[in-house]
């Protein structure tokens, strides 16, 4: 199958590189691509701009592309996915109404508030209803955001009410074009930031590894904010408990809320989270696509086949990406695997949550029983599997010291 990646940045290089490794893929086209994608094995650039939706559709048809993955937000917010589907082409990304999560901060803030998802207190203004006295009554610093897309430049953190009022007025005056017709002004949140990126199929969610971007231009977080100078993964601020909180309090209610509102979300979803010192995972922003530069380290770490995941999401079977492998091989070994959080679905055993399996070994000593149990564990795998490697360690320590 041929894949088309739309975009020309580091994110698209990483996505193309990853897709080219899939056994299902014969060739990856990148429109328009860059110097790196041009030299990657099994990858070819196509000279069509990322915003040229009709040109992209013509390219996908001419090249018989089986799946298109959209990198940047511009074409998503402009409705590229709706246009591809209308032309009978498979395209991975949110439809235009769901992409408002990135296209309109005013929409997102109202959505978050309505669904009880934690975020900074705020007000939205247009030139006509701008209330300077509201701004002057707020605590400082204060954050002023152009509601629409502004290439990462439309957010200002200001230390005085005068500056905040001036910033809002210059946004109304067109500093960021139509993106500043609406302005969100919100409370400044302290804490540590993390990028939490998932993919969704309208209902089911699959979380990627966490990451952390470095937005400031210079070392030691000095200098102005940029689109992102570099990133690493995983982000230690998102430990296991925080991961669960973000899923439960942010990501799940967002995907459920969008489905309930009649705009189900299929695609990559990027939550910019500020973890408050009290542990609350506040949403700073949503992006309706993968992050750049976060994609690059995450793709380096991803073991699964990205093309298979995107196809599963388009088929609304992302829950099957949690299928358990190795159970048949384990059944041939001594010992026994008991199930807890599993379910059967079309011949596959899927993870249904919680404690998933319990592998039991039998032996004349705890050490022997432990090795038998872990031999079972080592044949079994699923995405996100976790287990202790030391069950029985106290008894084994005693056995060793008694020898």
Binding site for ligand AMP (CB under 6 A): 120, 143, 145, 155, 157, 186, 188-189, 193, 215, 272, 284-285
Cβ distance to ligand AMP smaller for residue 188 or 382: 188
Query: How far is it, in rounded angstroms, from Cα 47 to Cα 252?
Result: 38
Query: 148 or 202: whose CB is closer to ligand AMP?
Result: 148
Task: Report the candidate in 105, 129, 132, 131 with the shortest Cα–Cα distance to residue 119.
Answer: 105
Minimum distance between the CB of residue 228 and ligand AMP, rounded to whole angstroms? Answer: 9
Query: What does DSSP assign to residue 250?
Result: I
**How far is the C-alpha of 86 from the C-alpha of 194, rounded, in Å?**
36
Q: How many CB atoms are located within 10 Å of the residue 234 CB?
A: 17
The residue (of 298 and 314) whose beta carbon lies closer to ligand AMP is 298
Q: Which residues contact 43 (CB under 8 A, 6 or more apart)?
A: 16, 17, 20, 27, 28, 29, 30, 33, 37
Secondary structure letter of residue 183 according to DSSP = E
Q: 258 with 108: CB under 8 angstroms?
A: no
CB of 155 to ligand AMP, least distance (A): 4
Three-point CA angle 10, 16, 20, nearest 5°: 150
Which tokens belong to 214? 């470095």
Q: Nearest distance from residue 144's CB to ligand AMP, in Å?
A: 10
Phi (first) and psi of residue 273, to 5 degrees: -110, 135
- Choice between 276 and 336, CB closer to ligand AMP: 276
Nearest to ligand AMP by Cβ — which residue?
285
Task: Tell me the C-alpha distance between 276 and 68, whole Å.
Answer: 37
CB 368, min distance to ligand AMP, A: 53
Residues 402/395, Cβ–Cβ less than 8 Å: no
C-beta of 210: minimal distance to ligand AMP in Å? Answer: 15
Q: How far is the CB of 146 from ligand AMP (least distance, A)?
A: 10
Q: Which is nearer to ligand AMP, 82 or 186 (CB)?
A: 186
Cβ-Cβ contacts under 8 Å for 358 (sequence gap 6 or more): 337, 338, 340
Query: Which of residues 285 and 305 has its CB atom nearest to ligand AMP in the complex?
Result: 285
- Residue corresponding to tokens 């991961």: 243
Nearest approach in angstroms of CB 59 to ligand AMP is: 31
User: Which residue, 41 or 190, is less far from ligand AMP as judged by CB?
Assistant: 190
Return the structure tokens found at 7.
């975009």
CB of 273 to ligand AMP, least distance (A): 10
CB nearer ligand AMP, residue 40 or residue 193: 193
């Amino acid at each position: 199958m041929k894949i088309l990646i739309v975009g020309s940045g580091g994110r698209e290089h990483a996505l193309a590189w990853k897709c080219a490794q899939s056994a299902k893929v014969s060739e990856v086209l990148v429109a328009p691509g860059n110097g790196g994608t041009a030299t990657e094995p099994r990858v070819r650039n196509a000279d069509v701009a990322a915003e040229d939706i009709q040109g992209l559709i013509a390219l996908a048809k001419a090249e018989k592309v089986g799946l298109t993955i959209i990198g940047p937000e511009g074409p998503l917010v402009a409705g590229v996915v709706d246009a591809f589907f209308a032309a009978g082409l498979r395209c991975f990304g949110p439809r235009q109404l769901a992409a408002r999560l990135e296209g309109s901060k005013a929409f997102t803030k109202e959505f978050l508030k309505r669904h009880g998802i934690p975020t900074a207190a705020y007000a939205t203004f247009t030139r006509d209803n701008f209330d300077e006295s509201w701004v002057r009554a707020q605590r400082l610093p204060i954050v002023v955001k152009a509601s629409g897309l502004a290439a990462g430049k439309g957010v200002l953190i200001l230390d005085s009410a005068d500056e905040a009022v001036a910033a809002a007025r210059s946004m109304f005056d067109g500093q960021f074009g139509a993106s500043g017709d609406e302005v969100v002004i919100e409370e400044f949140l302290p804490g540590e930031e993390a990028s939490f990126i998932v993919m969704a199929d309208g209902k089911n969610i699959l979380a990627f590894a966490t990451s952390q971007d470095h937005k400031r231009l210079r070392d030691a977080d000095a200098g102005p904010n940029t689109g992102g100078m570099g990133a690493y993964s995983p982000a230690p601020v998102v430990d296991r408990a925080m991961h669960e909180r973000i899923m439960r309090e942010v990501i799940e209610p967002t995907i459920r809320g969008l489905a309930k509102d009649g705009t189900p979300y299929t695609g990559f979803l990027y939550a910019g989270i500020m973890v408050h010192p009290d542990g609350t995972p506040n949403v700073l922003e949503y992006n309706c696509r993968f992050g750049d530069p976060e994609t690059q380290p995450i793709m380096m770490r991803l073991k699964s086949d990205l093309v298979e995941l995107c196809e599963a999401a388009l088929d609304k079977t992302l829950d099957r990406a949690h299928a358990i492998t190795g159970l048949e091989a384990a059944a041939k070994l001594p010992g026994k695997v008991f199930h807890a959080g599993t379910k059967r679905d079309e011949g596959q055993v899927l993870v249904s949550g919680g404690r998933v399996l319990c592998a039991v070994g039998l032996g004349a000593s705890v050490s022997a029983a432990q090795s038998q149990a872990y031999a079972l564990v080592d044949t079994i795998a699923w995405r996100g599997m976790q287990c202790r490697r030391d069950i029985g360690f106290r008894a084994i320590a005693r056995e060793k010291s008694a020898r």
